[in-house]
Amino acid sequence: MFRIGDFSKLGQVTARTLRLYDELSLLRPAQIDQFTDYRYYTIEQLPRLNRILALKDLGFSLEEIADLLNGKVKEDRLYEMLSVKQAEIEREMQENKARLARVAARLKQIEQEGDAPKYEVVLKKVEPQIVASVRGIVPRVEEMGEYRARMLKDLYGWLEENRMKPFDPEIFVYHNPEYTDTDIDMEVATAVDKAALKALAPAAPFAIRELPAAEQVASTIHKGALWEVPQAIIALFAWIGANNFTSGGVVRELHLFWREFETDDATQQNVMLEVQIPVSPLDSHVA
């Protein structure tokens, strides 16, 4: 028999690991001295230890390995479990490959600009959102401020008339498929209780609708003057192109803990908002 220290050397694992395997009923000592509590192992236990280590190397958790070795999971399920594990590893490899590409693009951007970029971009999932909104066309970009103020006034006035409470966030949605400085299709919205979907049937230009979920959006935070938001949008599209993504939906501008209708010119010089653009990997669009 081998004492735990000698067996750990033989199996190339720590004594602490062997104690953990004992606690999890993965590998019990062949004998425990009743007076000294010393653990003893036999050479016949080495194949079981090697199997534990082999399964662990394949990515199985200790709980999964215990179920396999202790008969809670039938051996014929091992193939199925390995197939699932293979799919998990392949997905992780793809995610790491995409992350590596983003790191490379970030390094290149820093090299070109000589400093860290102003806008940090993250990928996130967006849940569906019930909103009350009003939608209209802004004839020219120079008239954006005037139209924004008018549409916000109309929206909040309509909500008050219908005794509906607006919730955060306030949202601007830009529906044009590409950049334009004329005929800008803009929707002004605010989150509302989902019960409003059944409670009201508004007439145009007002609407109660669900902003759809997005599996993946590129998102960045803008902090500064409200009229500098286009810089954040440009930064997002630059990031999308540099990281082998393609845009796949409308641009959303979310006001974080403030409402444009309640701000003055001075306040609008220092606002914080989030810009989101739905994206998908570019290679998923290649036939």
Say if residue 9 is in the same domain as residue 132.
no
Say if residue 148 is in the same domain as residue 235.
yes
Say if residue 135 is in the same domain as residue 244.
yes
Residue 47: CB atoms within 10 A of its CB come to 9
For all residues of the chain together, what is the average pLDDT?
A: 87
Q: Which DSSP string do the residues of 233-255 spell out, in sequence order?
A: HHHHHHHHHHTTEEE-S-EEEEE
Contact present, 273 and 255 (Cβ < 8 Å): yes
Token code pair at residue 253: 């501008």
Say if residue 136 is in the same domain as residue 254.
yes
- The burial of 20, by beta-carbon neighbours within 10 Å (0-12 exposed, 13-18 middle, 19 or more buried), is given as middle
Say if residue 237 is in the same domain as residue 143.
yes
Q: What is the pLDDT of residue 286?
A: 47
Say if residue 263 is in the same domain as residue 129.
yes
Say if residue 157 is in the same domain as residue 214.
yes
The rounded average pLDDT for each run of 10 residues, N- to C-terminus, in the chain (287 residues) is 86 90 88 85 90 89 85 75 86 78 69 71 94 94 90 95 92 90 94 86 90 95 89 89 88 92 86 94 64
Q: What is the pLDDT of residues 253-282, one digit of tens each?
A: 999 888 998 888 888 888 999 999 999 988
Of the candidates 88, 117, 146, which is a domain's last residue?
Answer: 117
Say if residue 101 is in the same domain as residue 233.
no
Domain around 107: 79-117
Token code pair at residue 49: 């230890």
Q: What is the pLDDT of residue 287?
A: 46
> For the chain, how many structural domains are there in total?
3
Say if residue 165 is in the same domain as residue 63.
no
CATH number, domain containing residue 251: 3.20.80.10
Say if residue 197 is in the same domain as residue 219.
yes
Question: Phi, psi at residue 7, to the nearest 5°?
Answer: -70, -35
Q: What is the pLDDT of residue 271?
A: 92
Q: What is the pLDDT of residue 113?
A: 63
Nearest to 1 by CA among 63, 52, 43: 43
Global confidence as pTM? 0.61
Say if residue 151 is in the same domain as residue 113.
no
- The burial of 56, by beta-carbon neighbours within 10 Å (0-12 exposed, 13-18 middle, 19 or more buried), is given as middle
